[in-house]
Amino acid sequence: MTHRLVLAFALAATLTAAARAAPAPPLVDYHPSMGDLMTMAVQPRHTKLGLAGQARNWTYAAYEASELRHAFDRVAKTIPVYRDNDIAGAAANNMKAPLDALDAAIKARDAAAFTRAYAQATHGCNACHKSLEHPEVVIKSPVGSPYPDQDFRPRAAR
């Protein structure tokens, strides 16, 4: 046997032993709950959108309004039915009109219209919570930023 062959066999034996000793752990399939999705995908977008409007940062507000709208699409895809309720339908009933009004206000760069539409959206959050038996979850307009590392001011004001 050549040295090279011996080396190859030794290597193969070592690899086989290593594979036996450490089987790959199974990947954990994470299924977020409705509360998880609200906390990580919906609430921060609502907060940031409010801060963007307060700062009159229309470019960023347009981005964040789109993020919020699409977050609801993903929530409905992830949890289509919550306690016998159709989530896509509930999201559309409560959020579509306010999100459309927000888009229009942002496009028009109209601060008063934004404030009205944002209040309407916040009301939509709470109406859905009430209708799905979670009236204890009460959303309001943010006061001050909980994000120390993000600048919400428009570019010209920085």
Residues in the site for ligand HEC, rule: CB under 6 A? 34-35, 38-39, 42-43, 46, 82, 87, 90-91, 94-95, 121, 124-125, 128-129, 132, 134, 137, 139
Per the CB < 8 A criterion, the answer to whether 34 and 75 are in contact is yes
Q: What is d(CA 151, CA 154) in angstroms, rounded to the nearest whole number? A: 8
Rounded Cα distance between 62 and 104, Å, is 10
Q: Which is nearer to ligand HEC, 55 or 79 (CB)?
A: 79
The distance of closest approach from Cβ of residue 59 to ligand HEC in the complex, given in angstroms and rounded to an integer, is 21
Q: Which is nearer to ligand HEC, 56 or 129 (CB)?
A: 129
Q: Which of 43/78 has CB closer to ligand HEC?
A: 43
**CB 17 to ligand HEC: min, Å:** 47
Min dist. Cβ of residue 68 to ligand HEC (A): 6
Single-letter amino acid, residue 143: V
Cβ of residue 46: shortest distance to ligand HEC, in angstroms?
A: 4
Q: Name residues whose C-beta falls within 8 Å of residue 33's C-beta, 6 or more positions apart in sequence.
A: 79
Nearer to ligand HEC, 52 or 91 (CB): 91
> Nearest distance from residue 29's CB to ligand HEC, in Å?
20
DSSP 102-158: HHHHHHTT-HHHHHHHHHHHHHHHHHHHHHTT-TT-------S-S-TT---S-GGG-
Are 119 and 107 spatial neighbours (Cβ–Cβ below 8 Å)?
Answer: no
Residue nearest to ligand HEC (CB): 125
Decide whether 58 or 102 has the Cβ nearer to ligand HEC: 102
